Chains A and B, each alone.
Chain A
Amino acid sequence: MTTETLTPQDHGAPDMDNMRKIAMWAFLGSECLFFGSLITTFLVYRTRVGDGPSASDVFDIPFTSVSSFILLMSSLTMVLAHYSSVRKDWRQMRVWLLATALLGMVFLAGQVFEFTEFVDHGLTVTTSPFGSSFFVLTGFHGAHVAIGVLMLVATAFMSYSGRLSDGEGMNVEIIGLYWHFVDIVWIVIFTVVYLLQV
Chain B
Amino acid sequence: MATVNPPMEAAQSDAPSRTGVWTWLTTTDHKKIGLLYGGSAIVFFVVGGIEALLIRVQLATPNGEFLSADAYNQMFTMHATTMVFLVVMPAAAAFTNYFLPLLIGARDVAFPRLNAFSYWVFLFGGLFLTSSFFLGGAPDGGWFGYAPLSSQLNEVVRMDYWALGLQIVGLASLLASVNFITTMFTMRAPGMTLMRMPVFAWMALVVNFLLLFSLPIITVGLIQVFLDRNLGTLFFDAANGGDPILWQHLFWLFGHPEVYILILPAMGIVSEVLPTFSRKPLFGRSFVIFSGIAIGFMGFGVWAHHMFTAGLGPVAEAAFALTTMFIAVPTGVKIFNWLGTVWGGSVRLATPMLFSLGFIAMFVIGGLSGVTHSVAPADWQQHDTYYVVAHFHYVLFGGAVLGLMAGMYYWWPKITGKLLDERLGKIHFWLILAGFNLTFAPMHILGLNGMPRRTYRYPEGLGFEFWNFLATLGSFLIAVSMLVLFWNMFRTWRRGEVAGPDPWDGRTLEWTISSPPPEHNFDRIPVVEHEDDFWYRKYSTADDGTSVAIDPPPDMEVEPEANIHLPSPSFYPVLTGSGMFVTLMGLVYVPWGLVAVGVGALITMWGLFGWSMEPITREDH
- A contacts B directly in the complex (CB < 8 Å)? yes
> Considering the chains assembled together, what is the distance between the CA atoms of A118 and B157 in angstroms?
31
In the assembled complex, which residues on chain A have CB atoms less than 8 Å from the CB atom of B28? 2
| Known contacts A26-B181, A129-B240, A2 near B224 by CB under 8 Å | no
| Known contacts A18-B186, A22-B181, A5 near B612 by CB under 8 Å | no
Are A41 and B616 closer than 8 Å at their CB atoms? no
Are A132 and B235 closer than 8 Å at their CB atoms? yes
In the assembled complex, which residues on chain B have CB atoms less than 8 Å from the CB atom of A128? 234, 240-241
Q: Which of A33, A126, A154 has the most CB of B within 10 A?
A: A33
> Considering the chains assembled together, what is the distance between the CA atoms of A33 and B617 in angstroms?
35
For A132, give the chain B residue with the smallest CB separation. Answer: B233
> Considering the chains assembled together, what is the distance between the CA atoms of A197 and B353 in angstroms?
60
Q: Mark B100-120, 1 if CB is under 8 A from A, else 0.
A: 000000111011111000000
> Considering the chains assembled together, what is the distance between the CA atoms of A132 and B240 in angstroms?
11
Whether a CB of chain A sits under 8 angstroms from the CB of B554 is no
Q: Mark B262-297, 1 if CB is under 8 A from A, else 0.
A: 000000000000000000000000000000000000
| Known contacts A126-B232, A128-B234, A5 near B216 by CB under 8 Å | no
Partner of A12, one of B213, B227, B563, B612: B563
Are B232 and A19 closer than 8 Å at their CB atoms? no
Q: Mark B78-116, 1 if CB is under 8 A from A, else 0.
A: 000000000000000000000000000011101111100
Within the complex, the shortest CB–CB distance from B256 to chain A, in Å, comes to 14
Q: Mark A1-24, 1 if CB is under 8 A from B, else 0.
A: 111111111011011001100110
For B247, give the chain A residue with the smallest CB separation. Answer: A41
For A155, give the chain B residue with the smallest CB separation. Answer: B612
> Considering the chains assembled together, what is the distance between the CA atoms of A4 and B525 in angstroms?
12
Q: A43-51, A74-82, A92-100, A108-116: which lies at the B interface?
A: A43-51
Are A41 and B246 closer than 8 Å at their CB atoms? yes
Whether a CB of chain B sits under 8 angstroms from the CB of A188 is no
Are B185 and A1 closer than 8 Å at their CB atoms? no
| Known contacts A4-B567, A29-B212, A45-B241, A19 near B561 by CB under 8 Å | no
> Considering the chains assembled together, what is the distance between the CA atoms of A1 and B179 in angstroms?
11
Partner of A7, one of B185, B189, B221, B231: B189
Whether a CB of chain B sits under 8 angstroms from the CB of A146 is no
Whether a CB of chain A sits under 8 angstroms from the CB of B549 is no
For A124, give the chain B residue with the smallest CB separation. Answer: B232
Within the complex, the shortest CB–CB distance from B270 to chain A, in Å, comes to 27
Are B107 and A37 closer than 8 Å at their CB atoms? no
Whether a CB of chain B sits under 8 angstroms from the CB of A122 is no
Whether a CB of chain B sits under 8 angstroms from the CB of A63 is no
Are B617 and A29 closer than 8 Å at their CB atoms? no
Within the complex, the shortest CB–CB distance from B617 to chain A, in Å, comes to 5
| Known contacts A8-B190, A27-B178, A3 near B235 by CB under 8 Å | no
Within the complex, the shortest CB–CB distance from B391 to chain A, in Å, comes to 28
Whether a CB of chain A sits under 8 angstroms from the CB of B68 is no
8 A Cβ contacts from B226-254 to A: 227, 231-235, 237, 240-243, 246, 250, 253
Are A5 and B233 closer than 8 Å at their CB atoms? no
Are A2 and B250 closer than 8 Å at their CB atoms? no
In the assembled complex, which residues on chain A have CB atoms less than 8 Å from the CB atom of B615? 168
Whether a CB of chain B sits under 8 angstroms from the CB of A169 is yes
In the assembled complex, which residues on chain A have CB atoms less than 8 Å from the CB atom of B561? 5, 8, 11
For B218, give the chain A residue with the smallest CB separation. Answer: A37
Whether a CB of chain A sits under 8 angstroms from the CB of B438 is no
Are A19 and B563 closer than 8 Å at their CB atoms? no
In the assembled complex, which residues on chain A have CB atoms less than 8 Å from the CB atom of B113? 1-2
Whether a CB of chain B sits under 8 angstroms from the CB of A125 is yes
Whether a CB of chain B sits under 8 angstroms from the CB of A177 is no
In the assembled complex, which residues on chain B have CB atoms less than 8 Å from the CB atom of A5? 107, 525, 561, 563-565
Within the complex, the shortest CB–CB distance from B195 to chain A, in Å, comes to 19
Q: Which of B112, B220, B566 has the most CB of A within 10 A?
A: B220
Within the complex, the shortest CB–CB distance from B342 to chain A, in Å, comes to 36
Are A33 and B216 closer than 8 Å at their CB atoms? yes
In the assembled complex, which residues on chain B have CB atoms less than 8 Å from the CB atom of A14? 186-187
8 A Cβ contacts from B566-597 to A: 566-567
Within the complex, the shortest CB–CB distance from A183 to chain B, in Å, comes to 19
Within the complex, the shortest CB–CB distance from B152 to chain A, in Å, comes to 15
For B246, give the chain A residue with the smallest CB separation. Answer: A44
Within the complex, the shortest CB–CB distance from B181 to chain A, in Å, comes to 5
In the assembled complex, which residues on chain B have CB atoms less than 8 Å from the CB atom of A187? none
> Considering the chains assembled together, what is the distance between the CA atoms of A19 and B227 in angstroms?
36
Are B565 and A4 closer than 8 Å at their CB atoms? yes
Partner of A170, one of B235, B525, B612: B612
> Considering the chains assembled together, what is the distance between the CA atoms of A163 and B214 in angstroms?
36
Within the complex, the shortest CB–CB distance from B183 to chain A, in Å, comes to 9
Within the complex, the shortest CB–CB distance from A120 to chain B, in Å, comes to 19
Identify 9 residue pairs between A and B in the complex whose beta-carbon atoms are under 8 Å apart, listed by A's number.
Answer: A1-B111, A2-B567, A4-B187, A5-B107, A23-B111, A34-B216, A37-B250, A41-B235, A131-B234
* Closest A-B pairs by Cβ, 4 of them: A34-B216, A37-B220, A132-B233, A48-B241
B interface residue numbers (CB < 8 A to A): 28, 106-108, 110-114, 174, 177-179, 181-182, 185-187, 189-190, 212-217, 219-221, 223-224, 227, 231-235, 237, 240-243, 246, 250, 253, 524-525, 527, 561, 563-567, 612-613, 615-617
| Beyond known contacts A2-B617, A11-B563, A26-B182: 11 more, CB 8 A cutoff | A1-B112, A3-B567, A4-B567, A5-B107, A6-B106, A19-B182, A22-B182, A27-B178, A37-B216, A38-B220, A169-B613
